Amino acid sequence: MSVSCSYETVIGLEVHAQLLTRTKMYCSCATGYQDEAPNTHVCPVCLGMPGSLPVANREAIQCTMMTALALHCELPDHTRFDRKNYFYPDLMKGYQISQYDAPIGRAGWLDIEVDGQTKRIGITRVHLEEDVAKSMHMGGYSLIDVNRAGVPLMETVSEPDMRSPEEAREYLVRLRALLRYLGVSTGNMEEGSFRCDANISLRPVGATEFGAKVEVKNMNSFRGVYRALKYEQERQAEVLSAGGTLRQETRGWLDAEGVTVLQRTKEFAEDYRYFPEPDLPPLSLDRDWVASVEARMPELPDERRARFASQYGVPTQDASTLVSSRPFADFFDECIAAAGPARGRAVSNWLLGDVSRLINADGVEICDCPLTPGGVASLVDLIERDVLGGPAAKTVLEQMYRTGKAPDVIMQELNLGQIRSSDELLTAVRQVIGDNPKAVADYRAGKEQSITFLTGQLMRLTRGRADPATARRLLVEEIQRAEG
Ligand SMILES: [Zn+2]
């Protein structure tokens, strides 16, 4: 038994997401810097030149309001920006314009699902700030790229409500899906546009006081967050069960080694000397503005999941998978528009089965492959009308995925339509019986499962064009007839 069983794990997450605005947070420099030459998206404001003045980005504020609303937060009537003072080479002004005690959103929640159970995770706050420049350490000297400085950064802080690395991973998956639905962030962790710091502590099972909190940084994938938390859980349990004590500290995750290492201890709370930003006016979120932002919000995953289950008869677990990515859920909706709601379950089964297998194998999104919703709807229609058999349909789907052709065209080209003529099927049945005397003899001797083998041979001979149930029935009839 793992030593961690005598302790309860407490996890809270801080997520920074770059917002998908056209321009930076406090200046008009373009944000799309990922593939650009260093220091090409800069101006006096984001370089931190004395005398330059910031102007708050309205679109970034609206993205944050939208996220706060989607997370069921309270939005205050009045908010403001604050100066957070600290010194670091990548912080151009010597301070960051952030939000301190009046964030845009507070006291919200996000529901997650782990092992079939729904759990509500509290959201402490959602606030808006700016990204910093990027340092590159060259060995002996360092370079700085200011393109990233001033990109709008939204921070979402959760309550310490998660009790396992699995819950933390699920929270990140749900939060990222939400940001992607809203279209406010790419949510790309590998590119650094979605970053997570995790706070984790342990306490004896039944205790109400929190243990010493360790902050873990430097994870750059969901898997990294999960592994880092697993590692910390085990490490802290070992220290505690050996009678040791834990300090409040910051640790960095080393992905290749699979360990966390001490970065700094936190003896005292850091003093950022926050004060209201004097160069920006206070921000009032008047109710008309909030209402107009709310009106722009798309249907969110929870509502969509419920609609897929109630209107199209899709099982809840399947509906959860369909809504986990917005392009996938959009694709499903478009398929239903073409196929009709009665085909909901059949379409869902194809999307979650063979279609997912094909796109996952190539690592592409459904919107970036040649499949069209109309094509999938026609495929399901051909199957439901018994024009195309299940096994042959798999071949047709694969060709649709490779070529983008319509299913009926592929079916004709490859002659994959369900065998309609009983003569054609009977000829194939007789050939299979003639080719497999041993299996036929086995069946006659009472070995029932031989018929499954013979049916398989028939499906192979007809390249999946026979209806398996009819094929099986005809085989039995024909063997018995020959016997009689
Ligand atoms: Zn600028």
Q: 277 CA distance to ligand 1 centroid (A)?
A: 18
CA of 448 to the centre of ligand 1 (A): 77
The alpha carbon of 450 and the centre of ligand 1 are apart by a number of angstroms equal to 75
Residue for token pair 């000297």: 141
C-alpha 71 – ligand 1 centre gap (Å): 30
**Distance between CA atoms of 476 and 432, rounded to whole angstroms?**
12
CA of 315 to the centre of ligand 1 (A): 49
What's the gap in Å between 112 CA and the centre of ligand 1?
A: 38
Confidence band, pLDDT 50/70/90 cuts, at residue 1: very low
What is d(CA 10, CA 200) in angstroms, rounded to the nearest whole number?
6
Distance 21 CA to ligand 1 centre (A): 13
pLDDT band with cut points at 50, 70 and 90 for residue 104: very high
Percent of the chain with pLDDT over 70: 97
Ligand 1: centre distance to CA 447 (Å): 79
Which tens digit of pLDDT belongs to each residue from 331-359? 999 999 998 888 889 999 999 999 899 88
Q: What is the pLDDT of residue 44?
A: 95
Q: How far is the CA of 40 from the centre of ligand 1 (A)?
A: 10
Residue of 75 and 248 predicted with greater confidence:
75
- Ligand 1 center from residue 60 Cα (angstroms): 15
pLDDT of residue 332: 94
How high is the mean pLDDT of the chain? 89
171 Cα–ligand 1 center, Å: 34
Q: Tell me the average pLDDT across 312-327.
A: 89
- Count CB-CB contacts under 10 A for residue 365: 12
Q: Which range among 196-205, 344-353, 447-456 shows the weakest confidence by mean pLDDT?
A: 447-456
The residue among 127, 170, 167 whose CA lies nearest residue 17 is 127
Decide: 130 and 149 in contact? Cβ < 8 Å.
yes
Is the pLDDT reported for residue 10 higher than 90?
yes
Amino acid at residue number 147: N
Q: Partners of 8 in the beta sheet?
A: 203
Q: What separation in Å is there between the alpha carbon of 28 and the centre of ligand 1?
A: 6
CA of 94 to the centre of ligand 1 (A): 16
At 286-316, the pLDDT tens digits run 999 999 999 999 999 889 999 999 999 899 8
* Whole-angstrom distance, CA of residue 88 vs CA of residue 100: 19
The rounded Å distance from CA 82 to ligand 1 centre is 19
**Residue 184 Cα, ligand 1 centroid: separation in angstroms?**
20
Q: How far is the CA of 282 from the centre of ligand 1 (A)?
A: 22
What is the distance in A from the centroid of ligand 1 to the CA of 150? 7
What spacing in Å lies between the alpha carbon of 46 and ligand 1's midpoint? 4
77, exposed or middle or buried, with CB in 10 Å at 0-12, 13-18, 19+? exposed
Contact call for residues 9 and 232 (beta carbons, < 8 A) = no
- Res 484 pLDDT > 70: no
Query: What is the 52 CA–ligand 1 centroid distance (Å)?
Result: 10
Cβ atoms within 10 Å, residue 341: 12
Bigger pLDDT: 460 or 86?
86
Centre of ligand 1 from the C-alpha of residue 26, in Å:
7
Q: Check residues 418 and 172 and name the one with the higher pLDDT.
A: 172
Instruction: Using only the alpha carbons of the chain, give its radius of gyration.
Output: 30
C-alpha–C-alpha distance, residues 447 and 439, integer Å: 9
| HEC readout, the chain | CCHHHHEEEEEEEEEEEECCCCECCCCCCECCCCCCCCCCCCCCCCCCCCCCCCCCCHHHHHHHHHHHHHCCCECCCEECCEEEECCCCCCCCCEEEECCCCCCEEEEEEEEEECCEEEEEEEEEEEEEECCCEEEECCCCEEEEHHHCCCEEEEEEECCCECCHHHHHHHHHHHHHHHHHHCCCCCCCCCCCEEEEEEEEEEECCCCCCCCCEEEEEECCHHHHHHHHHHHHHHHHHHHHCCCCCCCEEEEEECCCCEEEEEEECCCCCCCCCEECCCCCCEECCHHHHHHHHHCCCCCHHHHHHHHHHHHCCCHHHHHHHHCCHHHHHHHHHHHHHHCHHHHHHHHHHHHHHHHHHHHHHCCCHHHCCCCHHHHHHHHHHHHCCCCCHHHHHHHHHHHHHHCCCHHHHHHHCCCCCCCCHHHHHHHHHHHHHHCHHHHHHHHCCCCCHHHHHHHHHHHHCCCCCCHHHHHHHHHHHHHHHHC
Distance 191 CA to ligand 1 centre (A): 21
* Ligand 1 center from residue 47 Cα (angstroms): 7
pLDDT band at 2; cut points 50, 70, 90: low
The CA 38 to ligand 1 mean position distance, Å, reads 13
Instruction: Give me ligand 1 centre to Cα 402, in Å.
Output: 45
Q: How far is the CA of 335 from the centre of ligand 1 (A)?
A: 44
Expressed in angstroms and rounded, the spacing between residue 54 Cα and the centre of ligand 1 is 9
Interior angle at CA 420, CA 416 and CA 424, nearest 5: 85
pLDDT for 268: 62
CA of 59 relative to ligand 1 center, distance in Å: 16
CA angle 119–123–124, rounded 5-degree value: 140
**Span 314-329, average pLDDT:** 89
Whole-structure pTM over 0.95, yes or no?
no
Strand 214-219 versus strand 249-254 pairing type? parallel
Q: What pLDDT, on a 0 to 100 scale, did the predictor assign at position 342?
A: 87
285 CA from centroid of ligand 1 (Å): 25
Q: Please check the confidence at residue 5 and state whether its pLDDT lies above 70.
A: no
Span from the CA of 32 to the centroid of ligand 1 (angstroms): 12
Over residues 382-399, mean pLDDT: 83
Please name every residue paired with 260 in a beta bridge, in sequence order, or none if there are none.
253
Q: How far is the CA of 280 from the centre of ligand 1 (A)?
A: 16
192 alpha carbon to ligand 1 midpoint, in Å?
A: 20
**Measured distance CA(72)–CA(244) in Å, rounded:** 41
CA terminus-to-terminus distance, the chain: 65
Write down the pLDDT at residue 267: 62
pLDDT of residue 227: 95
Q: How many CB atoms are located within 10 Å of the residue 316 CB?
A: 12
Tokens coding 216: 């873990």
CA of 131 to the centre of ligand 1 (A): 12
